[in-house]
């Protein structure tokens, strides 16, 4: 519910800034996570990430549905949703934060910029402060953003039974790829 309010607030803010050239969004962002162990590799992808970026303030919001992660094996997906993420109880994960070194980016000049991102990451109902490095590729009316960072399931109270613990790396490598487009509200 809290997330829904945030999204509605963002949507309202966007709708009120018809003239603004600083609001970007995507509904088809990509996030994947990868775990490598001697037993097996586990990778899941989600191509339905919704995210907003305000280039004037550096504010960033991401939200994903746990059910939208796709696994190569149906059993992995079932375990992920039912046992680990408890998707019925915690259907969403989100990040609310900002580009902390916004001055290093010239959004009027196409190019690639290295940035630092900091904020609060909520997974499985647990919120933690996180920091990550990222890269923004600025182009006319669109911005691509990428970042790679690590997440430890135990930090988010995700319990992995000891019988399958050897199948999971202690840290998951998370890759984020956003394809922001300038938000142009309907007239």
Partner 1 sequence: MKKKIWRLAGIAVLLMIAVAGFTYWYGFMRKEKPIEKMKADFVISADSLFAAFSVSEKAATEKYGGKILLLKSNIVSVEKDGNGNVTVTLVDPMMGVTCTIDSLEAVKQKGEIAALTEGQSVTIKGRCDGMLTDVKISKCMVVK
What is the DSSP code string of 53-66? EETTT-EEEEEEEG
Is there binding between residue 147 and partner 1 (CB under 8 A)?
no
Q: In this chain, which stretch among 68-76, 104-112, 129-137, 152-160 interacts with partner 1, using CB under 8 A? A: 68-76
The minimum distance between CB 183 and partner 1, in angstroms, equals: 8
Burial class (CB in 10 A: 0-12, 13-18, 19+), 141: exposed
The reply to whether 91 sits near partner 1 by the rule CB under 8 A is yes
Map residue 85 onto helix, strand or coil: coil
Q: Which is nearer to partner 1, 25 or 113 (CB)?
A: 25
Q: Which stretch binds partner 1 (CB under 8 A): 22-30, 109-117, 118-126, 145-153?
A: 22-30
Residue 128 touching partner 1 (CB under 8 A): no
18, two tokens: 């018809």
The residue among 45 and 171 lying less far from partner 1, judged by its C-beta, is 45
Closest to partner 1 by CB, 82 or 154: 82
**Is position 135 an interface residue for partner 1 (rule: CB under 8 A)?**
no
The yes or no reply on residue 167 touching partner 1 (CB under 8 A) is no
Other beta carbons less than 10 A from residue 49's beta carbon:
22
Rounded to whole angstroms, how far apart are CA atoms 83 and 122? Answer: 18
Q: Is 186 in the site for partner 1 (CB under 8 A)?
A: yes
67 near partner 1, rule: CB under 8 A: yes
> Per rule CB under 8 A, is residue 43 in the interface with partner 1?
no
Site for partner 1 in 45-64 (CB under 8 A): 47-48, 50, 63-64
CA dihedral 66, 172, 131, 134 (to 10 degrees): -90
Q: Exposure of 109 by Cβ count < 10 A (0-12 exposed, 13-18 middle, 19+ buried)?
A: exposed
Token pair for residue 76? 């992995």
Q: What DSSP string runs through 104-135? A: G--TTS-EEEEEEEEEEEEETTEEEEEEEEEE
**Under the rule (CB under 8 A), what is the footprint of partner 1?**
1, 3-4, 7-8, 10-11, 14, 25, 27-28, 30, 47-48, 50, 63-65, 67-68, 70, 73-75, 81, 88, 91-92, 179, 186
């Amino acid at each position: 519910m809290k997330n829904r309010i945030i999204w509605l607030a963002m949507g309202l803010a966007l709708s009120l800034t018809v003239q603004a050239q600083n609001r970007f969004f995507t509904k088809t962002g990509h996030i994947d996570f990868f775990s490598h162990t001697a037993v097996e590799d586990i990778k899941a992808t989600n191509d339905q990430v919704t995210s907003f970026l305000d280039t004037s303030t550096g504010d960033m919001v991401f939200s994903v549905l746990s059910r939208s992660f796709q696994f190569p094996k149906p059993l992995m997906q079932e375990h992920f949703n039912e046992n680990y993420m408890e998707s019925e109880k915690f259907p969403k994960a989100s990040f609310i934060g900002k580009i902390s070194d916004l001055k290093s980016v010239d959004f009027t000049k196409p190019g690639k910029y290295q940035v630092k991102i900091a904020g609060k990451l909520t997974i499985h109902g647990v919120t933690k402060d996180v920091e990550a490095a990222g890269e923004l590729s600025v182009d006319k009316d669109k911005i691509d953003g990428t970042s790679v960072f690590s997440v430890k399931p135990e930090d988010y109270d995700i319990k992995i039974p000891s019988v399958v613990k050897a199948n999971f790396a202690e840290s998951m490598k998370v890759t984020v790829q956003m394809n922001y487009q300038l938000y142009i509200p309907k007239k």
